Amino acid sequence: MTDLTALSLIDAAAALRTGEVSSTELTQACLDRIQVLEPDIHAFLALTPNLALKQADDADQQLAQWRREGGDPLPLTLGIPVAIKDVLCLEGIPTTCGSKILRGFLPPYTATSVERLIHAGAVVLGKTNTDEFAMGSSTENSAYGPTHNPWDLSRVPGGSSGGSAAAVASHMCYAALGTDTGGSVRQPASFCSVTGIKSSYGRVSRYGLIAYGSSLDTVGALARSSADLLPVFAAIAGHDPLDSTAMTDPVPEITLDDTDLQGLRIGVPREYSIEGMQPEVEAAVQEAVRVFESLGAEAREVSLPHTNLALPVYYIIAPAEASANLARYDAVRYGPRLEADKLREQYFATRGALFGQEVKRRIMLGTYALSAGYYDAYYGQAQKVRTLIKGDFEAAFKEVDLIACPVAPTTAFRIGEHSDDPLSMYLEDVFTLPANLAGVPGIAFPVGFDSNHLPIGMQLNAPHLGEAALFRAVHAYQGITSWHKERPLL
The predicted-structure confidence for 60-92, as pLDDT tens digits, reads as follows 999 999 999 999 999 999 999 999 999 999 999
> 22-39 as b/e, with b when 16 or more CB fall inside 10 Å?
bbbbbbbbbbebbeebbe
Identify whether 285 is part of a domain.
Answer: no
What range defines the domain where residue 187 resides? 4-263
Identify whether 154 is part of a domain.
Answer: yes
pTM: 0.97
Identify whether 434 is part of a domain.
Answer: no
In angstroms, the CA 86 to CA 133 distance is 9
**pLDDT at residue 1 above 70?**
no
Q: How far is CA 370 from the centre of its chain?
A: 28
Res 468: pLDDT: 97
Res 424: pLDDT: 87
If one counts the domains in the chain, the total is 1
Res 275: pLDDT: 86
Res 420: pLDDT: 85
| Residue 422 binned pLDDT confidence (cut-offs 50, 70, 90) | confident
Residue 42's domain is classified under what CATH number? 3.90.1300.10
How many other CB atoms sit within 10 Å of the CB of residue 250?
A: 10
Identify whether 305 is part of a domain.
Answer: no
How many other CB atoms sit within 10 Å of the CB of residue 194?
A: 32
Res 490: pLDDT: 86
Identify whether 42 is part of a domain.
Answer: yes
- Give the rounded percent of residues in the chain with a pLDDT score beyond 90: 92
**Mean of the per-residue pLDDT values of the chain:** 96
Non-local (6+) Cβ contacts of 212 within 8 A are 87, 133, 134, 135, 179, 181, 318, 321, 322, 325
Identify whether 132 is part of a domain.
Answer: yes
**pLDDT at residue 259 above 80?**
no
In angstroms, the CA 171 to CA 397 distance is 36
Identify whether 17 is part of a domain.
Answer: yes
Instruction: Identify which of 387, 182, 397, 385 has the alpha carbon closest to the alpha carbon of residue 269.
Output: 397
**pLDDT at residue 26 above 80?**
yes
What's 427's DSSP letter? G
Catalytic amino acids?
A: 85, 160, 184
